[in-house]
Amino acid sequence: MLNAGKAVKVSIYLSEGSTHHGVPTYSSIIDFLFYRGISGATVLKGIAGFGADHHMHSASFVEISDHLPLKIEFIESREKVDELLGKLEELAGTGMIEIQETTVAKPAQISKPKKATLPAHLKIEGKAKMMRIYVGEADRWKDKPLHTALVEAMRANDIAGVTVYRGILGYGAHRRIHKDKALHLSHDSSIMLSVIDTEEKLQSFLPLVGQMVEEGLVVLSDVDIIKYSYRPLDAEQNAPQAGSGTIQG
């Protein structure tokens, strides 16, 4: 395992078509480095170049050359590199090996599975608030659907969860009827966002709602949380949605 501090970077330049005992040279070198405990190595493929024979090699869409330049790079301690250098010279054959002094500012770390942690708001019990936001499907905020922007804003502000409902029939302040038809979906249907969280969290979020919702209706209601169940989720999955439990107003 590499540590922070002085080290060396080794670059090995090869031709893609070169082999060692019938095996691609880069593959033999990577296997050697892996089984000798090198922290990590990368193979880079060039798209054009020439070497000691002074022949130009390049790739095209019609024919991909098998003589393009390859570079293998790895970083290790000077002691470890000196230990392996003789075998690397043998494996590289006619290729070139370059060694540069470098400094490891931060060594790579082995990623460990993260244990699922439960956000504090999952422990909400008893009294809470429900916020409902009524907007039109065609409403926009900064070039994106308003309801999508609201969901993103709630997630960014650590609101416990939100559910978006699409109305199939209704009217608003302009008293125009909006409804879905069998062969035609209206693009101005009613949209309702339902959110449940603590009063403190929702009150702190209301100023942003006021900025984003230019025309619509926002209401707050008292609710009692009877049950708030969840399934453990990985960090990349969505948080539980509000409304997944049973409530009473």
Helix (H, G, I), strand (E, B) or coil at 82: helix
Class of domain 120-248: alpha beta
pLDDT for res 221 = 94
How far is it, in rounded angstroms, from Cα 194 to Cα 192?
Answer: 6
The two tokens of residue 108 are 């790579």
What is the block-wise mean pLDDT of the chain (249 residues), using blocks of 10 residues? 88 90 92 90 79 54 60 94 95 93 86 62 72 92 91 89 84 60 58 92 93 92 79 49 42
What is the predicted pLDDT for the residue at 108? 78
Say what the pLDDT of residue 240 is.
44
CA-CA-CA-CA dihedral for 219, 224, 230, 235, to nearest 10: 50
Identify the pLDDT of residue 158: 86
- Can 5-104 and 120-248 be said to share one CATH topology? yes
pLDDT at 220: 93
pTM, entire model: 0.47
Beta strand segments in the chain, E: 5-15, 19-20, 23-24, 41-45, 48-50, 56-58, 69-76, 96-104, 126-136, 140-141, 144-145, 162-166, 169-171, 177-179, 190-197, 217-227, 246-248
Tell me which residue of 195, 203, 200 sits closest to 155, measured CA to CA: 195
Q: Which amino acid does the sequence have at 111?
A: S
Sign of the torsion formed by the C-alpha atoms of 147, 152, 156 and 160: positive
Helix 78-92 vs helix 25-35: crossing angle, to nearest 10: 150
Is 65 buried (19+), middle (13-18) or exposed (0-12) by CB count in 10 A? middle
Query: Nearest Cα to 193, choosing from 164, 158, 234?
Result: 164
The residues with which 23 forms a beta bridge, in sequence order, are 20
User: Are the C-beta atoms of 197 and 124 separated by less than 8 Å?
Assistant: yes
Kindly report the number of other CB atoms within 10 A of residue 84's CB atom: 18
Query: In what helix (H) or strand (E) does residue 1 lie, and over which residues does it extend?
Result: none
Domains in the chain: boundaries: 5-104, 120-248
* Sign for the pseudo-dihedral over CA of 146, 152, 158, 163: positive
The DSSP call for residue 184 is B
Reply yes or no on domain 5-104 having CATH 3.90.180.10: no
Which amino acid, one-letter code, is at 83?
E
Antiparallel, parallel or unpaired: β 140-141 and 41-45 = unpaired
